[in-house]
Structure 1
Amino acid sequence: MLLNALNGRLRLKASKKTLSLLEECLLSMRHVYQIHAHIITSGRSSDKFSLSKLIAFSAISPNGDLAYALSLFRLIHHPNIFMWNTMMRGCVEKDRPVLGLSLYKQMVDGGDRPNNYTFSFLLRSVGGIRGLVEGRCVHGQIVKLGWASYDFVRNGLIHAYVVLGLVDDARQVFDESPEKDVVSWTAVVNGYAKAGRIETARVLFDEMPEKNAVSWSAMIASYTQLGLANEALEMFREMQLAGLRPNYAAILSVLCACAQVGALEQGKWIHCYVGRQGMELDCAVGTALIDVYAKCGYIDIAHQVFVQMPEKDVCAWTSMISGCAMHGHGERAIQLFFEMQRNGVRPNEVSFIGVLSACGQVGLVEYGRRCFENMTRVFNITPGIEHYGCMVNLYGRAGMLEDARALVQTMPVKPDAYVLGALLGAAKMHGDVELAEQMARKLGELGIDHGGVHVLLSNMYAAAQRWEDVARVRKGMEQKKVKKTPGCSLIEVDGEVIEFVAGDKSHAFMKEVELLLYGMDKQLKSLGYVVDKSQFILDVDFTY
């Protein structure tokens, strides 16, 4: 219907009237081709106004064709700065930064003078190729042509240096700015955070005269990416107290933080907030919620979120598969893996980690082996170290220690601590002391000499009543000053995440906690529970 209407309108003689249709409708490239043909047949092929409209749509529209825009652009003799900028913008948005830089060089060589918008697109192209030399050259051009005092250009320059990892250069531009707006403040704060200098980023953030949702989101995201989930959650609470509504980026970052520390109540609040705001449960938010609920032990609610998602990409499917595997629902995870492929979603590397872990849970050795082989044969995915670790764990759980050992010996990459640790765990599970000793030595060769390996080996010696070996391990730990990293757990109470560390009695309610645990222990024993002491260190008193 639109095409028929368009064909009728194409009979108009005036090019401006014809091109007004571009502003009235969402056009496809087919319509652009027809309009261009009409311009040519009407004898207006040199009409810059008409061609500029077509170039703009072809270059920057999501449905556009940059190559076609470039072919139209080449037809114009002496294009104006608007056309040059349009093409450079199209190169940025269509991920063709090298072409954008090339166009800039052609423009300058032709004698045309850039404006502030030119440098905005040019700096984004520099960031796209991570071009340090190009960035310095563009900075020089900006200063030479007198655009350095313009906020728009200056903020683009700060952002470009941040993308290039030159946060100190970004800071210099920032400090030399006569006026600093919220965009420039946020850019340099984000730069320090990305460089891992989170303390400096926080100091600058606290000094900001004005903060918007983007500023807060940048800090929350930075804390989350650095694994400082508690700080991210605290920042999110401060953002709410400041009266700012969290934006999309903040929501995603907070959900990731919730998953890291098991902050279930905060995750539930975000889930309700998404519903109240009428936000679509898209792939990113849905996947993050699945991850939160799965890691907090609510796999059924995670599955409800998964079912409610209108669209599911490979990340959503993979998150659900991994969550099921994590909770021991191996068969359910494998079923989801089948459904994902039936729905036309191609599994990725992480998907295979989830399904191989699930196979280990339910003991499907042959199916797991077939999945492992299909990674390369069917999906052209080269197995990584994590996949080999999953296979070692699969064989180990099934008691196939020789198969696990053979896989480790023949794998094309050098086994790391993850793979060797999986084989060590399998040796412990089946009481193979000799294999455990071999793996402990190999881990030592890799520099993995932490207390956990020594304690595990000592426990195995103790179970086999090899007391001299127990004493030898203990002496070795004392000589090397190796201590076992104490275990820890997290729990959320009234929105606050509390950490408990083994041996630490500093918590204000530790006596109440110990009394509760003592009561639980008595109740379990009264129901017939017997503690398995076979893997406890006997005859040895370790001080952690």
Structure 2
Amino acid sequence: MLSSFATKYLKSSHRSLSLLDQQGLSMTQILQIQSQLIVSGTISDPFAAGKIIAFCATSEHGDLSHACHLFRLLPHRTTFIWNTMIRAFAEKNESTRAISLYRQMLESGFLPNNYTFSFLLRACADLSDFTLGLISHAQIIRMGWEAYDFVQNGLIHLYASCNCMDMARKLFDMSLNRDVITWTAVINGYTKSGQVAIARQLFDQMPEKNAVSWSAMITGYVQIGSFKEALELFNDMQLAGFQPNHAGIVGALTACAFLGALDQGRWIHAYVDRNKMNLDRVLGTALIDMYAKCGCIEMARRVFDEMSLRDVFAFTSLISGLANHSQSASAMELFMRMQNEGVEPNEVTFICILSACSRMGLVEEGLRIFESMNKVYGIEPGAEHYGSLVDLLGRAGMLEEAKKMVREMPMEPDSYVLGALLNACRVHGDVELGKETIEWLVEQSLDHGGVHVLLSNMYASANQWGNVAKVRKGMEEKKVRKVPGCSLIEVDGVVREFVAGDRSHVFREDILLLLLGIDKNLKSSWFDDDYTMVEQIYL
């Protein structure tokens, strides 16, 4: 029979363990329960220790470092405790530690089970570790865990993350119990590998969809530049009754930015505010980029100021927007603030700030910033940085210096660099240097239609009409065509695209009749009596 003292502590231990099942516990309360378990000696029981570790490692209010401390002190561990720690590291994107712990588990003589492999595969996928994934797959087959749904889903996700879609598809086709996670894993793999058409076929066949599968398709369209399709799918998602998640919203905002769909972007911003979504660095940067590219630079500033945490991408996005909105002085100030706050610029930041220097004519400042890339930040300038510097020198009329920069740059000049030099030649009327630049472009097979048009305009500015005719004739002989102009307009949340010379619009005849009616009522000195506006448009 137990003594009254032992009975008292046994009851206390049971009471402490039962408290662990309550919701909303804090770490302070967990530490108090742990103290009682230590006093009673119950902490040595793997079940009790496992419950404490599970809370600390996986709960929203837990403390993973404390879980690690307890784990190291435990004299006896169970497979459940090993799995809990591996899961915690995998879920907190500490995949290397999760894999290391798995190896320690094997060395300690514990056999993994289906739960172990589901967490391990997640870590392998996060690191795109194909070799370890293959080894794990072999162990799974040998131990007989391959038939479990979440193990199959983990394998599909792993191979998709490693861009091995043949393996992922083979497992998908073999799966007998496909759930929404299975479908989404293979769709996500196809979108990430750029095979969006196949992903869309599978998406349309899905018996059941969720917000994650919708977002995977939206993101896939954005990745290949099909922004119109991305927005259409985003709207379809809501019509189907699904609430867009974080990834779907970021994808839709990116599409809005490239299409200039301001109304749609504003609606998404209102949705974010209405649902009290956290304005984290990814979402905040997407909003800044959308407003900046849609012409609302003040709203972009406001979003930037509302962000509690700002990284290099948020700063760079706003610096780019300010520079593109002729607010180069503000861009320079933000660049200084960025450095003062300890946020280090990246390659894109330097392209944006050099562009701002170019617009303001700050040659010395631009050269100083260019030199600081390598000396201060250890970033090796690329072709685009040299192109920005050539543009800076060219705008300032320093054509010889710009030409010298092109000659001495450590890599072959590309179309971006030579295009900046050619544009400077056009602005300052240096026809000979322009011809020399064109020859460079021809040698590298970079003489696209826009280059020839630029050369033609340069000759026209210098009143060299004979050379203009030669360039135009050369374009005809080479069958070089200028890329047709394209414009987008948003009407009632739908983005409409117009391309110069396009005659495929379903209402083309009605549009032409309307233009003819307008033309009859216009009196302009721009056209002769027999040279109508409609003829000018369709030449």
Which digits, 9 at most, give the CA deviation of each residue in 1:393-418, with x for residues without a partner? Answer: 11111111122222222223332221
Counterpart of 1:104 (choices 91, 102, 121) is 102
Structure 2 unpaired stretches of 5+:
1-10, 527-537
Query: What letter corresponds to residue 358 of structure 1 in structure 2?
Result: A
For residues 260-279 of structure 1, what are the structure 2 equivalents within 5 Å? 260-279=258-277
Counterpart of 1:222 (choices 220, 223, 227) is 220
1:259 is the counterpart of 2:257: yes
SS at match of 2:178: coil
Counterpart of 2:77 (choices 56, 76, 79) is 79
SS at match of 2:214: helix
2:327 corresponding residue in structure 1: 329
CA distance in 2, matches of 1:188, 1:419: 41
SS at match of 1:86: helix
SS at match of 2:489: strand
Structure 1 unpaired stretches of 5+:
1-11, 526-542
Counterpart of 1:244 (choices 242, 248, 251) is 242
2:145 corresponding residue in structure 1: 147
1:159 corresponding residue in structure 2: 157
In the alignment, is the contact (CA less than 8 A) between 1:19 and 1:53 conserved in 2? no
Which 10-residue stretch deviates more, 478-487 or 173-182?
A: 478-487
CA distance in 2, matches of 1:417, 1:339: 33
1:312 corresponding residue in structure 2: 310
In the alignment, is the contact (CA less than 8 A) between 2:85 and 2:98 conserved in 1? yes
In the alignment, is the contact (CA less than 8 A) between 1:15 and 1:50 conserved in 2? no
In the alignment, is the contact (CA less than 8 A) between 1:16 and 1:50 conserved in 2? no
In the alignment, is the contact (CA less than 8 A) between 2:20 and 2:51 conserved in 1? no
CA 1:503/1:258 → structure 2, altered by over 3 Å: closer, same or farther? same
For residues 403-414 of structure 1, what are the structure 2 equivalents within 5 Å? 403-414=401-412
CA distance in 2, matches of 1:342, 1:518: 59
CA distance in 1, matches of 2:129, 2:325: 46
SS at match of 1:470: helix
Shift of residue 169 of structure 1? Answer: 1.3
Query: What letter corresponds to residue 344 of structure 2 in structure 1?
Result: R
Shift of residue 377 of structure 1? Answer: 3.1
Which 10-residue stretch deviates more, 167-176 or 380-389?
A: 380-389
Shift of residue 468 of structure 1? Answer: 4.4
CA distance in 1, matches of 2:449, 2:299: 37
CA distance in 1, matches of 2:178, 2:17: 44
SS at match of 1:483: coil
CA 1:140/1:454 → structure 2, altered by over 3 Å: closer, same or farther? same
2:454 corresponding residue in structure 1: 456
For residues 359-374 of structure 1, what are the structure 2 equivalents within 5 Å? 359-374=357-372
In the alignment, is the contact (CA less than 8 A) between 1:15 and 1:39 conserved in 2? no
CA distance in 2, matches of 1:75, 1:133: 33
Query: What letter corresponds to residue 384 of structure 1 in structure 2?
Result: G
SS at match of 2:495: strand
CA 1:371/1:100 → structure 2, altered by over 3 Å: closer, same or farther? same
Counterpart of 1:466 (choices 460, 464, 467) is 464
CA distance in 2, matches of 1:386, 1:322: 14
Shift of residue 220 of structure 1? Answer: 0.7
2:189 corresponding residue in structure 1: 191
CA 1:524/1:296 → structure 2, altered by over 3 Å: closer, same or farther? farther
1:299 corresponding residue in structure 2: 297
Shift of residue 270 of structure 1? Answer: 0.9
What is the TM-score when the length of structure 1 is the normalising length? 0.83
1:387 corresponding residue in structure 2: 385
CA distance in 2, matches of 1:478, 1:175: 52
CA distance in 2, matches of 1:521, 1:399: 43
For residues 367-516 of structure 1, what are the structure 2 equivalents within 5 Å? 367-507=365-505, 508=507, 510-511=511-512
Aligned-residue CA RMSD (Å)? 3.5
Shift of residue 40 of structure 1? Answer: 8.6
Shift of residue 179 of structure 1? Answer: 1.4
CA 1:126/1:199 → structure 2, altered by over 3 Å: closer, same or farther? same
CA distance in 2, matches of 1:517, 1:379: 59
Which digits, 9 at most, give the CA deviation of each residue in 1:178-232, with x for residues without a partner? Answer: 1111111111111111111111111111111111111111111111111100000
Shift of residue 351 of structure 1? Answer: 2.4
CA distance in 1, matches of 2:211, 2:58: 27
In the alignment, is the contact (CA less than 8 A) between 2:46 and 2:76 conserved in 1? no
Query: What letter corresponds to residue 440 of structure 1 in structure 2?
Result: I
1:4 corresponding residue in structure 2: none
What is the TM-score when the length of structure 2 is the normalising length? 0.84
CA distance in 1, matches of 2:274, 2:286: 18
Shift of residue 70 of structure 1? Answer: 5.8
Query: What letter corresponds to residue 420 of structure 1 in structure 2?
Result: L
CA 1:519/1:341 → structure 2, altered by over 3 Å: closer, same or farther? farther
The count of aligned residue pairs is: 512
CA distance in 1, matches of 2:517, 2:407: 48
CA 1:302/1:75 → structure 2, altered by over 3 Å: closer, same or farther? closer
CA distance in 1, matches of 2:14, 2:444: 73
